[in-house]
Structure 1
Amino acid sequence: MPFDKRKALQTALSYTQQGRLDKAITEYQSVLKADPNDLNVLNTLGDLYARTGNKAEAITQYMRLGDAYRKDGFAAKATAVYRRKCTARTCTPNRAWWGKPNSSSSSSRSSAAGPGT
């Protein structure tokens, strides 16, 4: 039987509403496996991981979301995701844009603005 994305999303939402977050995460992961470009699912997974205390996995999902926005040319959305979802300890602006730690010679404001600004 082919994967039914709509049904999986409904099931995941139902689990979330019931507070069964681990089951919701599993359902959303199956949706993401079938459709890796579903940015709403990436965001939702990040939120669910954060709610369950899995900060590292939450950051991973948010980074994937920000990277997807950046790759698609939506720098403002990418920056908003990086700023809103990442903490200074785990995800600096340079890491978000370039995958490397902040250097002492560049300000975090200019690096958070993204390339070409």
Structure 2
Amino acid sequence: MLPEEGVNAVRVVIALLVRGHFEELETLTEGRRLSASAMADAVDRYGGDLISPPEEAFAAVEESAAAEADGERVFAVDFPLWTAQEGRSALAARLALTEVMDGVWTVELIALGAP
């Protein structure tokens, strides 16, 4: 199960996506995988208006894989996005969350697309 601090990192990423703050998200993720323009393009291609998911969606966050490397815990998460048109959509954010120190997390947005 993903620790609460990891779930909070997911909340931050999803909130930035929903608000369309792609540049801020690129800064947060250090642009490791997706640039702000790539994020915007993926959302535009999908065609829906992103909305905040219900709180229970965050309560149900589960990692699809977990590993430990160099003393850091790494979790892979596929989080479904919600749109005004569909509710829960086929669009998902694929994330890698790393606990670099106790309670300190980094996040990487690996992809936006169908899981």
Normalised by the shorter chain, which TM-score bucket?
under 0.3
TM-score by length of 1: 0.28
TM-score by length of 2: 0.28
Higher relative contact order (CA 8 A, sep 6+): 2
Larger Rg over CA atoms: 1
Q: Flag the structure with higher helix content.
A: 1
